[in-house]
Structure 1
Amino acid sequence: MFKHYRELQDVVSLMVYCTSDKSFLLLKETSGEYWIPSIKSEKNSWKMSAHKLLFELFGMESGAQLSPLRVNKVWLPAHPAPCVYHAVYKLTIRADAKKRLKVKPSVRFRLQWVGEAELGRLQAHCALRSPELLLLATMFTGEPLKEADLADLDKGQLIEVGEESVLVGAEETGGAGGASGAASAAPSAQLLAAANYTKEDQMRLFREFVTMNFPALYMSQHVFSQLMLDIGWHRTVCSNLFRAADVSNRGGLSFQELVLWSAATEPVTQHSGLPAEIRCRYIFRYYDGDRDQKLQQVEVKELVAAARATRQLSTDALSVVRDVDLCYKQLGLQANSPLPLAEFLRAVRELRLRGTSSLLRAPRSLLGYVIDLQERDCMAKAASVKSATHFEPEGEVRPSKAKVEKLEARDSASWRRGGGGGGGGRQYALASCVVRLERDAPPAVLRLDCFEEEAVSASTIKLLSLSSTSLEVLAADSSPAETLAAVHYFASDINTTKLVKPAYTWAQPSELASLGAALLKLSESVQAICAAEPRLLRLDSPIYAIGDLHGNLPALLAMEARLWPAGAALLPAGLLFLGDFVDRGAWGVELLAYLLAAKLQRPHALHLVRGNHETRDIQTMFTFYTECTTKFGEVEGVKIWNAINNVFDVLPLAAVVDEKVFCCHGGIPPPWVCPRVSAILRVPVPLPRPAAQSHMAWELLWNDPVKANKITASLAMELSANEGFAVNARRGTGHVFDQRALDRFLATNELTHVVRAHELHQNGFMCNLRGKLISVFSSSRYCGGDNDSGVVLLQAGKLRLIRLSD
């Protein structure tokens, strides 16, 4: 009934009962759920609105008398109105009045007379918009409520849903009072504290809850399932999720039940102590298909298989049965008997059943999703106000004071980030080293030691006695510089009296072993740097964006020779590598040694974004794992491979340059997964299993723009039905997206272009979707082909495409 929280207002409904056949008039909504006829209240008069609705249904000649049945008062935090009301009126009619329905045919066929027994069956099949319909029916007829599961519903005529009855006490949430305070708090408060939910977070969720459900007080399975789909759950599990969340078995969730469910399934909620027990109860309900508080053997096996999968163990039938039998034996239970809840909790507590800590984890945070929705709603409202006042018929258009203040704040923030041009807030300091450039020698970094002491301040003289970070990472004898020198040596063709070595070979096995040792140290250092970076980088131009390299060291060194001949550390522009550093090419190890060393030398200007090949499963399918074990041996090779992948697990997933150009490896994510790009900031770190841990990350790694010549009729229908997204059949995972999806993504996030990698192009780049999406591929002569290497320079508001040919 309401799309936005700010639109909420009083609602009036009619509960119409026919005494002849004991049936109620219900409206079948487009979702397939049943509800009573309702209307938004007009002119602050409930009775007038009720009579208007009555007239629309039966006409004035009905002459029926309306009387109030129930009034719900619902608190509205951060809303122009302090509360909103739902007034339900009752009306009794005879059988002949049924024929007087005079509504439009499009609505008439959705109006149905439902008997009391049928009402119960609809509830059992989760076909009612809210279980309170059953309560209203019993209040109308005066008969006792038969369903035991609805006994906790308030049966009063005036119901008040206020802050005190909705939110868990603020003093018990958000970690207040320290660990001892959390331990002594109520179980629900401990769970919210484990999820880091504050009172403000609960209020955000409550606003969304009311928007989705009002005038109903409970969330139906249909609304809940749609919400779960929006945060990345698969449709096939939504009924199981609802069963787990509906702890009261009433067929509808109260707000407290939803917020506790959300906290329990948060990706970051700690799985220990009482919160872990609460999570395990939800897990048990998820697999308890018949809600009998016992898991049958087939359900136990499903649970054990899922737990094994989270630990990356085999889920074949024999392994699962072996684990189940061992667990039953340790618990002292008879084989093939049902597993009661108490025994399940004991099995987890005594570590007889492992892997539950990763079960029932939402693909993305529900709270984060709601925050993004509300931010987008606020921005859309601001944009509509802006568009309504932007044009004037005559005269000069002057920005409002609020707009001027907003622009000034944005400009100030840009200066603080260092995106400004010629003055302002950036503070300068004298570097403590000097770079010496010679024609036929590599750059040399020297300590600053040539100035007149009498001509400078004491603070400048003090530089001489301070340690220099630049010298530590740029000097010729520093570890990063030595690694870069080793990579250049490896790529050089040497033919002297002392040494003969073809290009891209090592002269001695010890040289390769030294590189392996350096990789371990570099990986450890760069892992700490990247883990501290946000998942969505905010960068300033000028910057080079570089696409897939796939172990192609010659292509990388060719870029160096032409774009940063003095070395990446001395390049005035930044470097942004868009993933897929390894696999398929022969020199992934050496290429990564270069990138990690350069990152350590210049951590704030050289950036590494994760690609789909920066995952362990993909590397074992392709070549990088084999490359590591072949070059370094089975033991040391696996150690180096794991160290490198630990870096990949913490790499950022995307970047925004100058607040206008979005950069990632694959493509834009669907809006139901990522309403705004700020949602990327909440992807967990580290991310060793992106497919299981973050649906959003997986979309960023795998998605592609749709090819115009590949759009069939069925694909066009799928794109139209899913906001411009469709299943990526070519890759077998992720999505493809069309022009409409890209335009919506750019408009929502106030962007102008997307730069991505992920696809081979003969010229090294391709302009897709009306030039708003640039695909760049930087591995020249890929897999024996003859393609060029592409680079995109983002500078001064331009996307400059560079094509490097051998």
Structure 2
Amino acid sequence: MRSIVSSLPVLSLKQQLGDPVLIALHWEGKVLQDSETPSSLAWPSEVTLTKVEMTFDHERPITLLRDQSNTFGVMDGDEARRMCTAMKELLLKEANVLELQAPLVISAHLTGNLNALNYIFNTFGEPGGTSHLFLGNYVNKGRNGIDVMILLLCFKKKFPGQVHLLRGKHECSSIARIYGFYDECKHRFPSRSGVKLFRQFVEVFDNLPLAAVIQSRVFCVSSGLSPKLDDLEELRKLQRPLEVGSDGLVCDLLWSDPEDHQPGWHEMDKGMSYTYGPDVVDEFLKKNHMDFIVRGTQVVEEGYEFFADGKGVSIFSFPSFLGEFNNKASVMLLDEQLQQSLHTFDDTMLPVPSA
């Protein structure tokens, strides 16, 4: 980087270089703070700033959100913007179809339930010691979509090889605008900063991977299959970032549902995507040399529900969904031999936020 001769404070130097929110300056191995000045840093008349990068503090949000003592002050708008910008780049480096190894904890459909996410980490282990796969639907409907996203993205930053995030139907601009996340952003970050941050989160959503394969044998997806998906290579070739349309391959992955009582493909009553029968599941698994499907999305009374003659399972990790259902929640544990263990929990088992 070029040498800079200036008596200006660090913030002014950052403004000279472009957007001050998105860059960090380093000098002699030290991250410079905005309030620092040349005199406080004991700079000579000319200095060379050796590194400029996007950065954000991922440690403090993890501490606060795991404690749940003050979620409203976890991040200001500028730092949340830095986080989104950095994480877009990190996520885009990943493949559309993640290739993962067990053991793994698999969760689905948190939709803003920070208590459920903390229960999962408390019970089955935090990233750093435990690898997690989340099957999408992080925001909307629940009250803490922003906090769920911040905690997951901060853990992803800290342990990128142990936190795996797939895209769900709620990670879409039109759905997130209607079902609560847009309003949550406006409430948390007033004025136009909330709207701008909503757009930043949507750009993160557009970069999320779409599916995962565990040890070449288990297919994981937010919702389901597609009549346009014969071979996973078709999915691997898609270019991200991408928006979700009202039909097509990506829409089906995020919206389609299994239907054990009808073979084949049938249009869904709600007008989005299809239902697929046990024969479709069997054919897909045989063509792709896999054994099993794990998916989320649907509220199921026991927290999980098998389909397609036991060749697939739906899991749901939000107990007593929105206070409108009396459902249990579940996560799936896969060990190194891909042996499945389903663990259920209810809302009485969730951690109580600190006062």
User: Do structure 1's residue 802 and structure 2's residue 349 form an aligned pair?
Assistant: no
SS of 1:791's equivalent in the other structure is: strand
Q: Distance in 2 between matches of 1:541 and 1:505?
A: 32
Distance in structure 2 (CA, Å) of the matches to 1:707 and 1:741: 10
1:541 is matched with: 102
Contact 1:757 1:775 in 2 (8 A): yes
Report the equivalent of 1:782.
Answer: 321
Q: Deviations over 1:375-428 (max 9, x none)?
A: xxxxxxxxxxxxxxxxxxxxxxxxxxxxxxxxxxxxxxxxxxxxxxxxxxxxxx
> Is contact 1:536–1:678 with CA below 8 Å preserved after alignment?
no
Please tell me whether Structure 1 or Structure 2 has the larger radius of gyration of its CA atoms.
1
Structure 1 residue 763 and structure 2 residue 302: aligned? yes
Question: 2:244 — aligned with what?
Answer: 690
Once the two structures are TM-superposed, the CA of residue 613 in structure 1 deviates from its matched residue by: 0.6
Alpha-carbon contact 2:71-2:147 (below 8 Å) kept: no
What are the superposed Cα offsets for residues 48-98 of structure 1, whole Å, 9 maximum, x if unpaired?
Answer: xxxxxxxxxxxxxxxxxxxxxxxxxxxxxxxxxxxxxxxxxxxxxxxxxxx
How many angstroms does 1:674 deviate by?
1.6
> Where do residues 349-748 of structure 1 align in structure 2 (5 Å cutoff)?
479-489=57-67, 491-492=68-69, 506=72, 511=73, 514-564=75-125, 567-568=126-127, 570-571=128-129, 573-670=130-227, 673-687=228-242, 689-691=243-245, 695-708=248-261, 711=262, 719=263, 724-729=264-269, 731-748=270-287
Confirm or deny: 8 A CA contact 1:530 1:651 kept in the other structure. yes
Q: How far apart in 2 are the matches of 1:621 and 1:562?
A: 33
Report the secondary structure of 1:594's partner residue. Answer: helix
Question: Could you tell me whether the CA contact under 8 Å between 2:65 and 2:71 is conserved in 1?
Answer: no
One-letter amino acid matched to 2:233: S
Secondary structure at 2:331 match in 1: strand
Shift of 1:591: 1.0
Q: What is the CA distance between 1:505 and its match in structure 2?
A: 5.7
Report the equivalent of 2:30: none
Aligned to 1:386: none
CA change 1:505–1:594 in 2 (3 A) is closer
1:799, CA displacement in angstroms? 1.7
Partner AA of 2:267 in structure 1: V
Q: Work out which structure has the larger RCO, using CA pairs closer than 8 Å and 6 or more positions apart in sequence.
A: 2
CA deviation digits over 1:18-77, x for unaligned, max 9?
xxxxxxxxxxxxxxxxxxxxxxxxxxxxxxxxxxxxxxxxxxxxxxxxxxxxxxxxxxxx
* Contact 1:536 1:654 survives alignment (8 Å): yes
Q: What's the CA shift for 1:631?
A: 1.4
Q: Is the 8 A contact 2:109 2:138 kept in 1?
A: yes
SS at match of 1:691: coil
1:684 offset after TM fit, Å? 1.8
Matches within 5 A, 1:274-353: none
Shift of 1:529: 0.9
Matched residue of 2:343: which SS?
strand
Asked whether the equivalents of residues 549 and 555 of structure 1 are also in contact (C-alpha less than 8 Å), the reply is yes
Give the letter for the 1:739 counterpart.
Answer: P
Separation of aligned partners in 2, 1:579 and 1:604: 17
Deviation at residue 777 of structure 1 after TM alignment: 0.4
Q: CA deviation at 1:707?
A: 4.5
Match among 303, 308, 311 for residue 772 of structure 1: 311
Name the structure 2 match of 1:450: none
Partner residue in 1 for 2:20: none
User: Does the aligned pair in 2 maintain the 1:483–1:515 contact within 8 Å?
Assistant: no
Asked whether the equivalents of residues 683 and 697 of structure 1 are also in contact (C-alpha less than 8 Å), the reply is no
Deviation at residue 679 of structure 1 after TM alignment: 1.2
Q: Answer yes or no: is the 8 Å Cα contact 1:542–1:793 preserved in 2.
A: yes
Distance 1:610 1:755 in 2: 14
TM-score (norm 2): 0.78
Which secondary structure does the structure 2 equivalent of 1:690 belong to? coil
CA deviation map 1:558-596 (0-9, x unaligned): 1111111xx32x22x321110000000000011111001
Give the Å deviation of 1:783: 0.8
* CA distance in structure 2 between the partners assigned to 1:599 and 1:535 by the alignment: 17
CA distance in 2, matches of 1:515, 1:609: 26
Partners of 2:267 and 2:191 in 1: how far apart? Answer: 38
Instruction: Return the offset for 1:488.
Output: 3.1
The answer to whether the Cα contact below 8 Å between 1:483 and 1:518 also exists between their aligned partners in 2 is no
C-alpha distance in 2, partners of 1:677/1:802?
A: 29
Structure 1 counterpart of 2:310, which letter? G
Is 1:750 the counterpart of 2:289? The answer is yes
CA RMSD of aligned residues (A): 1.7
- TM-score, reference length from structure 1: 0.35
Query: For the structure 1 residues 505 and 678, does the alpha-carbon distance in structure 2 shift closer, same or farther, using more than 3 Å as the test?
Result: closer
* Cα contact 1:544–1:576 (8 A) shared by 2: yes
Q: Distance in 2 between matches of 1:758 and 1:726?
A: 18
Deviation at 1:804, TM superposition (A): 2.2
How many pairs are equivalent? 291
Distance 1:535 1:797 in 2: 22
Looking at structure 2, the residues matched to 725 and 594 of structure 1 have their Cα atoms a distance apart, in angstroms, of: 38
Q: Which amino acid aligns with 1:700?
A: L
Amino acid at match of 1:797: L
Name the residue aligned to 2:50.
none
CA contact (8 A) 2:278 2:307 kept: no
Q: Deviations over 1:293-336 (max 9, x none)?
A: xxxxxxxxxxxxxxxxxxxxxxxxxxxxxxxxxxxxxxxxxxxx
Q: Distance in 2 between matches of 1:594 and 1:546?
A: 15
CA shift at 1:787, angstroms? 2.1
Identify the residue that residue 14 of structure 2 maps to in structure 1: none
Shift of 1:797: 2.3
Structure 1 CA distance for aligned equivalents of residues 326 and 266 of structure 2? 32
CA distance in 1: counterparts of 2:66 and 2:98, whole angstroms: 30
The alpha carbon displacement at 1:520 in A equals 1.4
- Superposed CA deviations along residues 678-707 of structure 1, whole A, max 9, x for unmatched, are 2111112110x2216x82111111110015
Q: 1:486, 1:519 → 2: CA distance?
A: 15
Classify the secondary structure of the residue corresponding to 1:663: strand
SS of the aligned residue for 2:245 comes to: helix
- Partner Cα separation in structure 2 for residue 488 and residue 752 of structure 1: 36
* Secondary structure in structure 2 of the residue aligned to 1:698: helix
Runs of 5+ unmatched residues, structure 1: 1-472, 493-503, 712-718
Instruction: Verify the 8 A CA contact 1:650 1:686 in the aligned structure 2.
Output: yes
Matched AA of 1:605: Q
Equivalent AA in structure 1 for residue 93 of structure 2 = A
